[in-house]
Amino acid sequence: MKNNNDKEVSRRNMWSGILFGVGLIAFIDETVFHQLLRWHHFYDKSTTDVGLISDGIFHAFSWFATIAGLFLFADLRRRNGLIFQRWLGGVLLGIGVFQLYDGLIQHKWMRIHQIRYVDNVIVYDIIWNVSAFIILLIGLFLLFRKSQNSKLKEKTANE
């Protein structure tokens, strides 16, 4: 059975990854879809100026999440507590949850923007949301899969 310190380190690995994943995918979303392709702004229900301001606020949010995740990551490394598989699972979970939230809540429920304003937006929606769900599942798999190292430790402890 894990002691409280092991649980805390495991939890910190997961949250560091989630924050970094959310920040990373938000940064990629904002850079690629908002700036380079100019498919949409974070908030498209107003003027272009409001859309650009909303993009700036969104961009700041992505950097706060990224920096917070990296501070936690650095602390884990400093304390020799990094569990890379768990951290990576958190990253992928953060990416998947953010992308699924964006695709379902912001695009469809709140309708603050679409992925792209075209007649066949459903194709973009399906690709966006299915890829988010797959990434989320891989993240969960990595988070809850026991690493070979922990299996070996349990086997040694039981002998």
Residues in the chain, total: 159
Q: Which residue has the tokens 């490394």?
A: 77
pLDDT of residue 1: 42
pLDDT of residue 91: 98
pLDDT of residue 151: 53
DSSP 42: S
**pLDDT tens per residue, the chain (159 residues)?**
457 789 999 999 999 999 999 999 999 988 888 787 787 777 767 777 887 888 888 889 999 999 999 999 999 999 999 999 999 999 999 999 999 998 898 888 888 778 777 888 899 899 999 999 999 999 999 999 976 555 545 444 455
pLDDT of residue 159: 53
- Element counts in the chain: helices (H) and strands (E): 5, 0
pLDDT of residue 17: 98
